Chain A
Amino acid sequence: MHEMSLAGGILRMVEHAAAREHFARVARLSLEAGALAGVEVRALRFALEAMAPGTVLEGAAIEIDEPPGIAWCMRCCDSVAIGARSDPCPRCGGWQLTPTGGTDLKVRELIVHDA
């Protein structure tokens, strides 16, 4: 449900970039939504597509990279891949995990046209 506010935040960031960099439209919007970022990627894409018409994002391809969740396992003393915050360590089955990667929701890059 909060994906709508996040999409609004992304659109605002893109529009600020458009004002700063003087471009007319976006050909491709590249996002990063980590597996542990708390974002439902399908809902985010839907929200962005719903907001795009009439904005610089109209017609833009939306690319969302979903890096896997990485956590530090205190028992294994190593980084392990996890799918969700409620997952155990895939190696030792323990729960002493601190997420270290795949927690970000970022706008990485825009491919833009000046006209």
Chain B
Amino acid sequence: MCVVCGCSNPGASATAPGHGHAHSHGHGHDHVPAQAHAPADLDFGANAARVSVPGMSAERAIKLEADVLGANDRIARANRAHFEAHGVAAYNLVSSPGSGKTTLLVATIDALRRARPALPLAVIEGDQQTSRDADRIRATGAPAIQVNTGKGCHLDAPMVAAAFERLPLRGHGHDHGHAHDPGHDDALSLLFIENVGNLVCPAMWDLGERAKVAILSVTEGDDKPLKYPDMFAAARLMVLTKTDLLPHVDFDVARCIEAAQRVNPGIEVLLLSAKTGQGMDAWLDWLLADAARDARPRDETAALKARVAELEARLAQREAAA
């Protein structure tokens, strides 16, 4: 294979070292219309210009300059507008497998239930297989939707949009045929999205969350932020968990925080143990303060914008499916 252009001309590989072949090898595909229509007919008007110009081939260039994640990001923006219109503060919890995301969520839900019994909560659980995590969340009494990604290594915005449709947070279970009446649903609510355990891929996919929260357990190693910089760069908050184990492991908290701040100078950091409850209050305070910050524009313009974004997302999904 030609290592420069990636074409499959076997003759190119011999000259490839040093890129010395200057792309003079035949590319194995047609560059002139006459060849493309051989052998029977010749149609020099079959190109886009409908005319043959000597020296110009029927090849044409199409400028796209389009973001590969654009389709996801459009739906993520619609999710974000949708969440805002419903007063939902959504947090995307990301970490490696086994950091204790679900344990932290169960402890968080229990603590929030005690501190703020009227606050609606819901969870979207992402895993490749099984509904074990959603079952653990449902055992707390909070509604949870399990999203199985199959071979997928991350959640994407359409998955979250589909899961959110099934949750009772949207105006507390009202039918979704409404026109986003700005008067409905006044209470703030929290949505936790537990991403697939993976410190690489979920960093790239915007789900429409308010913030990504990177969870790192002290059994993992304090250099993780340097090894997986994209994730810690994308997160607004890093939560160090299982701090009750600190006496038993070689985990340097200061070094870990320094590493996280190297890749993301603005990252916030909390330490907690879901098992002993130490640090849980600060985590709840962070969540409630962040969720309440500039919450709910709750005016007609915002509601209309959300409706437009939602319709655009549905159109994008339909186009993607077509």
Contact = CB atoms under 8 A, between A and B. Distances in A.
Nearest to A86: B229
Interface stretch (B149-157, B212-220, B249-257): B149-157
A78 interface: no
A106 B226 contact: no
A93 B203 CA distance: 26
Interface in B56-91: 58-69, 71-72
Given A114-B46, A115-B36, A108 B64 contact: yes
B193 to A, nearest CB: 17
A12 interface: yes
B62 A113 contact: no
A106 B154 contact: no
Given A16-B319, A115-B46, A63 B64 contact: no
A42 B232 CA distance: 23
Contact of B27 (A2, A61, A97): A61
B263 A107 contact: no
B8 interface: yes
B110 interface: no
A82 B72 CA distance: 27
A2 B320 CA distance: 19
Interface in A1-44: 1-2, 5-6, 9-10, 12-13, 16-17, 21-23, 25, 27-28, 31, 38
B29 interface: yes
Contact of A115 (B58, B62, B204, B205): B58
Nearest to B37: A115
Nearest to B320: A12
Contacts of B59: 27, 111-113
A27 B265 CA distance: 44
A84 interface: yes
Q: How large is the interface on A (under 10, 10 to 19, 20 to 34, 35 or more residues)?
A: 35 or more
B64 A107 contact: yes
Interface of A is mostly: mixed
B28 A105 contact: no
B230 interface: yes
B40 interface: no
Contact of A9 (B64, B69, B262): B69
Nearest to A2: B201
Contacts of A21: 48, 62
A111 B226 CA distance: 39
Contacts of B66: 13, 106-107
Interface in B1-48: 2, 5-8, 27-31, 33, 36-37, 46-48
A41 to B, nearest CB: 11
B48 A114 contact: yes
B62 A2 contact: no
B61 A109 contact: yes
B8 A112 contact: no
Nearest to B60: A112
Nearest to A32: B65
B200 interface: yes
Contacts of B31: 27
Nearest to B227: A86
Given A6-B68, A63-B6, A106-B67, A38 B230 contact: yes
B229 A10 contact: no
Interface in B190-205: 198, 200-201, 203-205
A-B pairs with lowest CB-CB distance, top 5: A2-B201, A85-B229, A86-B229, A62-B6, A61-B7
